[in-house]
Structures are given as C-alpha cells and as structure tokens.
Amino acid sequence: MKNAPAIEVKNLFFSYGLTPVLEDVSFSVEAGDFVAMIGPNGGGKSTLMKLIVGLLKPEAGEVRLFGEKVPTKRVGVGYVPQNTNHNVEFPITVEECVGTGLSGFFQEPSTIRNALERVKMESYAKRRLGELSGGERQRVLVARALVASPQILFLDEPSSNIDAAGQDDLYQLLYKLNESMTIVVVSHDLMALSSRIKSVACVNRKVHYHPGSQISGEMLKSMYGCEVDLIAHGIPHRVLGSHDHTHGGCCNHS
C-alpha cells in the first residue's frame, strides 16, 4: 500500500492465560522513524514487539506493516531478540550465524559478507561466536537480522550485557542504519538513546506514543504505572508515579 505507515496497530488485545498484558492498543509509526519502546518490567514491551513481527497472535485487533496484515512475507522484517548470551558456546562461526538469517534464501557468500561489512564485523567472519565480546556478538546478531535486506528492524533490549563503550557503538550503528530503514528498539537505556531516536512509545498495557525525541520529566512521570530504573548518562534514575495522566509522580536519582 503506497504511503502506508511502517507500523499500524489497531485495537490490539493480548493475554497470557488469564493475565492481560495489552489492552486496546492503537498507534502508528511512519516509515523512516527510529522508535524507542520503553516502560516498566512486565508492561508488555517484548510481547508487543513479538506481536508486531508475527511471533505471537493477538486475541483481538490487527497489526499491519507497510499496509500488509501480519503475518506477511511481503515485508522484509529483521528481528534481534533478547538473551543474546544463550548458547554462546555453540560451535558456529560468525559467518555461519549470519547465514541462518537467510532461511529460504540462496546463501550467496557475498550477501553474508555485505551484512558483516555493514556492522563492521567482516574481519571476524571465521571466528567462533563464543570468542566474541558481548558487543561484538550483538553486532553479529544485527548482521543476521540485516542479511535478508529488511525494510524494518526490531531489537529487543539490544544493549543488555554490553559495556558502556559497546552500547555507544551499537547505538551509533543503529543511528546509521536508520538512514535506510525504520527501526524500533526496546530499551531501558533511554537517555543514551535520546540523541538518536525520533520518537518514544511507552508501553504499560496501553501505548502512549510521543513523536519527537525530547524526553521531559513530566513525560516520564506520566508514562510509568510503577517505579522503574533508567540509566541516564551512567546515573540510575528512579521514576515513580501512576501511568494515569491525571496523577503525579516523581523522578529521583538513586
């Protein structure tokens, strides 16, 4: 669909058993956006991302990517999940790992090489995945998500288990990739991302979407339904207060 939003979510509901996670969620994201998806633990961020990429099925409502109802094979989607330290000792090389992102495609070596070049990891192609640092391994997983040339890239907590220097390198990489694709990232490291993102979506059963990258104390206070720690310039910030915009809250250094 011409000029359709990159993401369009309408009246979405989802529960795990009897536990509601997302309730009547509606929002849209324009092509070329760089969205930080934030919110308290258990608020539904990762679940929402899995629904958008088609890994989970909503109870009600729908999700569209560039006008195509999810799940769809007509839109290229890259996805980097959480828990990147699992199975790091599995005997696989960097290039073999990236090649797993080409399931159903002819694995042309130059395609894998190009993906590694985009994340500046081409010189590590023959190395074992378990030999890499957390930041290097995360770049490889981004390359795996990029190898099939997606139109939109989703990353769930990509900076976890990475030191501060590695995090900054990763965010700079995402900033560069945003020149050619839409990016959505789940992260608690909002302040480190703030100079690169274009909009913020706070997830806490519902979604409050805020175009623009300016992150004010009032916005944070109104977003959270329970306290949450954010890392801002290396300093933990505790955000307290109700997600209900009619109630106040507070934001303290802890």
* pLDDT value of residue 228: 41
Whole-number Å distance between alpha carbons of 189 and 226: 17
For the ranges 64-78, 144-158, 211-225, 230-244, which has the lowest average pLDDT? 230-244
Percentage of the chain with pLDDT > 70?
77
**SS3 category, 60:** strand
| Integer angstrom CA distances of residue 141 from 79, 101, 129 | 9, 9, 10
Statement: residue 42 has pLDDT above 50: yes
Query: What pLDDT is recorded for position 108?
Result: 74
Span of 48-52, 82-86, 223-227, 245-249 with lowest mean pLDDT:
245-249
Residue 87 predicted with pLDDT over 50? yes
Please give the average per-residue pLDDT across 99-122, as a whole number. 84
pLDDT at position 107 over 70: no
Predicted confidence band at 180 (pLDDT cuts at 50, 70, 90)? very high
Task: List the 60-65 sheet strands across, edge first.
Answer: 19-29, 7-16, 60-65, 68-69
Name the band, by pLDDT with cuts 50, 70 and 90, for residue 191: low
- From the CB of residue 169, how many other CB atoms can be counted at a distance below 10 Å? 18
* Burial of 10: CB neighbours in 10 Å, binned 0-12, 13-18, 19+: middle
Q: Which of 18, 172, 159 is nearest to 80 (CA)?
A: 159
In one-letter notation, the amino acid at residue 202 is C
CATH number of the domain located at residue range(s) 1-76+151-223 in this protein? 3.40.50.300
Name the band, by pLDDT with cuts 50, 70 and 90, for residue 222.
Answer: low
CA distance 23 to 140: 35
**Mean of per-residue pLDDT scores for the chain:** 81
Q: Which is higher by pLDDT, 1 or 191?
A: 191
Lookup: tokens for 90: 């599995």
Q: How far apart are CA 123 and CA 17, in angstroms?
A: 46
Query: Above 60 in pLDDT, residue 224?
Result: no
- Calpha distance 223→9 (Å, rounded): 19
The continuous run of DSSP H or E covering 23 comes out as strand 19-29
> What is the reported pLDDT for 195?
76
Among 13-17, 226-230, 242-246, the range of highest mean pLDDT: 13-17
Give the residue extent of every domain in the chain. Answer: 1-76+151-223, 85-149
